[in-house]
Structure 1
Amino acid sequence: MNTGKTVFAQLQDHLPLHQFRRCVKRYGGNYKVQSFTCLDQYLCLFFAQLTYRESLRDITTCLLGMQNKLYHMGIRGTIARSTLADANEKRDWRIYQDFAHILIHHARELYSKDSFGVTLQETVYALDSTTIDLCLALFPWAKFRTHKGAVKMHTLLDLRGNIPSFIAITNGKVHDVNILDLLVVESGSFYIMDRGYVDFDRLYAIHQARGFFVIRGKSNLSFRRLYSHSVDKSIGIQCDQTIKLTGKDTAVYYPEPLRRIKYSDPETGKIYVFLTNNLDLAPKVIADLYKSRWQIELFFKWIKQHLRIKAFYGTSENAVKTQIWTAISVYVLIALVKKRLNLDITLYTFLQILSVSVFEKVDILQLVTNSAGTIEDTHTCNQLNLFDL
């Protein structure tokens, strides 16, 4: 029941603020701070992501225009552009990283029973990265190419609910495969990757940790066929083989047998070759698992189109990482609220409604009921249907 709270304040009710304060204390975020606390900073950036503000001046102008509602929105400090800029530059970005991970933990618990299109009890992750282009003159620390800067957001996405379980933000020069060294492999879980992650030394480490991987094979792979299994070619499976690597280095890096599956997509006719260390699942299930990897591409498209991570409010590494982690926490919080309120709308539609209603004093459930039917959902089916269950 609505008790006169703004929509923005109602969203805050779903934030574990006691855990946020622990994150702040862990890194001394409020040390010598008199008026504009880390929570004030976070809420300002949260507002900016929710309403897609374009600059620090845009953020402060909009908030100061609603000065009489700021206290009820949880913002206690004095808002000024310079104050917010200083906070973004100086306050440790790991505060917002740790808090995002707390929200991720809660969200994964809520979505743990959801289906992702493949009938499987084990947890399935998709691993990939997206590049965020930056101007090298303004962001000299973000090395990428001679005249171009960039950061990479390496993401391990839990396909049950499309919740990121691991994110690493690096400069653009870091190769995707290096992120495999940072993963803590969960026994029995599946890791779905594209050809950029083919490194048999690292894949063998996943195997030894009792995890499973499904990855696209490269055309120049040297191997010896040990056994061919019978297949049903009517469903697109061309072959299902047990192989042994014979390359000079690969045979040393991965000494055990692998499974090689060739699959022809009935819709496009394109041929795919998959490598996996799982010897038990049906070959069609392996193909379907790789197909589900597309969800991470949709995740990257969604956050780039609907959250503020392509234009930044500051130029330092600390400010950029603070903004990205705030954007991730907004994404996860909206997914949390949607699940907790059992809303039967897409995440895109939910964000649209919230973005124009943050100052309204109306219950979110009532707001969605009154608004969802009148907002035209203009997103395309291959981009923004992450939560269209």
Structure 2
Amino acid sequence: MNILDDLIPEPGSWYIMDRGYLDFARLYRLTEWSAFFVTRAKVNTQFRRVYSHPVDKSDALLSDQTIVLTGVRTAADYPEKLRRTRYRDPETGKVFTFLSNNFTVPAETITRLYKSRWQVELFFRWIKQHLRIKSFYGTSMNAVKTQIWIAISVYVLVAIIKKQLKLDGSLYTILQILSVTAFEQVPIEQVLTNFDYSSDDPGSDKQLLFKEL
């Protein structure tokens, strides 16, 4: 949560966070900077409803309310009104409650913004599961983006090779094979098609993790 203390909010921008970042003093700082946020509400959040806005329940919306916080500490941390939107996921039936400081966009936009955040989280989960990036060689924004793009580009190229050559091995195994034969002057088709994928071991003595490419 300390990242919110280091963050310099950009007026007019949106910050989408899960409820692990629910700190009303820090969220109020975003409001003071004329930035917008969407976050998940906790079940024990104390509030008073000021007004209920009409909603189109065909969009799986349950309610769209203007509220004020009534907790002793939270009311002091965030003294202005908030928007409270409740949404039921049509696929899982799970109900989500969102808080925002934006009162102008449609209620369904609030839910879609948070869903977009979830897609970003799934993307980073995919990175952790497939790209095996354990550390970064540089910590600047450009260095991190460059390393991620290189890793994704390698992954996609190997996926294309796997499809074109109709290989049975996993992408991870193919990456391992390429990592230990990177400096051998052998046609890539020969290297990959002659390997016994049933063993699924390109060579433990020379094996390199993808993170070391």
TM-score, normalization: structure 2? Answer: 0.68
- Provide closer, same or farther for how the CA distance between residues 268 and 308 of structure 1 changes in structure 2, counting only shifts above 3 A: closer
Aligned partner of residue 112 in structure 2, secondary structure: helix
TM-fit CA distance, 1:263: 0.7
The answer (yes or no) to whether the contact 1:223–1:243 under 8 Å persists in 2 is yes
Conservation of the 8 A alpha-carbon contact between 1:307 and 1:327: no
* Alignment partner of 1:307 is 2:114: no
Aligned to 1:273: 97
Q: Give, in whole Å, the separation in 1 of the partners of 2:11 and 2:184.
A: 47
Q: Distance in 2 between matches of 1:241 and 1:327?
A: 40
SS of alignment partner, residue 293 of structure 1: helix
Q: Does 1:190 align with 2:14?
A: yes
Q: What secondary structure, in the 3-state scheme, does the structure 2 residue paired with 1:213 have?
A: strand
Query: Counterpart amino acid of 1:207?
Result: T
Structure with the greater alpha carbon radius of gyration: 2
Where does structure 1 lack aligned partners over 5 or more consecutive residues?
1-176, 311-319, 339-346, 362-366, 368-389
Specify which of 153, 156, 160 is matched with residue 349 of structure 1. Answer: 156
- For the 8 Å contact 2:67–2:83, the answer to whether it is kept is yes
Q: Compute the displacement of 1:305 (Å).
A: 2.6
SS of the residue 1:298 aligns to = helix
Give 1:199's aligned residue: 23
Q: Following the alignment from structure 1 to structure 2, what is the Cα–Cα distance between the partners of residues 359 and 276?
A: 54
Q: Is residue 262–residue 272 contact of structure 1 (8 Å, CA) maintained in 2? A: yes
| Counterpart in the other structure of 1:246 | 70
Residue 83 (structure 2) pairs with residue 259 (structure 1): yes
Distance in 2 (CA, whole Å) between partners of 1:226 and 1:245 is 10
Higher relative contact order (CA 8 A, sep 6+): 1
- The Cα of 1:192 is off from its aligned counterpart by 0.8
Number of residue pairs matched by the alignment: 167
Alignment equivalent of 1:218, drawn from 37, 42, 46: 42
Secondary structure of 1:249's counterpart equals: helix
Offset at residue 271 of structure 1 (A): 0.5
Q: Distance in 2 between matches of 1:329 and 1:208?
A: 34
- 8 Å contact 1:308–1:327 — kept in the other structure? no
Amino acid at match of 1:331: I
Residue 169 of structure 1: aligned partner: none
Q: Do the aligned partners of 2:14 and 2:37 also contact (CA within 8 Å) in 1?
A: yes
1:331 partnered with 2:155: no
Question: 2:138 & 2:9 partners in 1: Cα distance?
Answer: 28
Mapped contact 2:65–2:85 kept (Cα < 8 A): yes
Equivalence for 1:148: none
Give 1:28's aligned residue. Answer: none
In structure 2, distance between residues paired with 1:269 and 1:186: 35
Does 2:51 match 1:227? Answer: yes
Q: Is 1:209 aligned to residue 46 of structure 2?
A: no
Give the aligned CA root-mean-square deviation in angstroms: 2.9
Deviation at 1:294, TM superposition (A): 1.6
AA partner of residue 263 (structure 1): Y
- Measure the CA separation in 1 of the matches of 2:15 and 2:121: 15
Question: How does the TM-score come out when normalised to structure 1?
Answer: 0.39
- Residue 210 of structure 1: CA displacement? 1.1
Q: CA 1:351–1:180 in structure 2 vs 1: closer, same or farther (change >3 Å)? A: farther
